[in-house]
Amino acid sequence: MSSLSVLPPECLLQPFPVPQRLMLGPGPSNVPARIAAAGAQPMLGHLHTETIEIMNQIKSGIQYAFQTRNRVTLAVSGPGHAAMECAIFNSLEPGESVLIAVNGIWGERAAEIAGRIGAKVNTVVTSAGGYFTNEEIEQALDKYRPVVFFLTHGESSTGVVHPIDGIGDLCHKYNCLFLVDSVAALGGTPICMDERGIAMLHALALQSLPAWGPLFKMCLLYL
């Protein structure tokens, strides 16, 4: 056998020196030592009974974080976009009306996704950094009569945490589902889904949940 023409890279012949960082951005965040130590546990296969039990425990934890008793609460391996697409794709049919509150890039992204599946996209728009009053939301619900109303709870492009009290009741009044994007808010502010009448919520373990996010990407869903 001839000798290899491409030699092993020297940079891979020794461990990479990972520095200590204090991370205070929207994500990722620092991982607690207890959680980091859990990563040194023995490996399990995805079909082992212990793995199934771990997934059930994660589900219980998500239900606690969401403050819901709904059984259709699950974790999916993927980024926040996976959760957003899952929620929108499973709540709308082509031709159905959706109302999307746009006060930053994530409302814009939701409108783009809904448009791709052929939904009739209606928007209520305010400037970046702004928010909507319940009166403005009710006027839009009455005008467009959507089957789904989408609102970004934590708009990471501007830092706005949108008030959601009373909006679930408005959605029930106009017979539409209340879909909330809490990717940048869950864990940083209470959500209380059942009390607030939220029909669907998606979030991400990468941003406001520091115990999970630094280890892996996992989107969280309640449908």
- Is residue 29 included in any domain, yes or no? no
- Is residue 106 included in any domain, yes or no? yes
Domain count, the chain: 1
pLDDT of residue 26: 65
Residue 53's domain spans which residues? Answer: 43-222
Look up the CATH number of the domain holding residue 168: 3.40.640.10
Note if the bond before 19 is cis, omega within 30 degrees.
no
Q: Note the pLDDT tens digit of each residue in 174-197.
A: 999 999 999 888 888 888 999 999
**Sheet containing 219-222, strands listed edge to edge, beginning at the edge strand earlier in sequence:** 73-76, 219-222, 200-204, 177-181, 148-152, 97-102, 120-125
- Is residue 25 included in any domain, yes or no? no
Number of helical H runs and strand E runs in the chain: 7, 9
- Is residue 3 included in any domain, yes or no? no
Highest mean pLDDT (candidates 2-6, 79-83, 193-197): 193-197
- Asked if the model's pLDDT at residue 153 lies above 90, the reply is yes
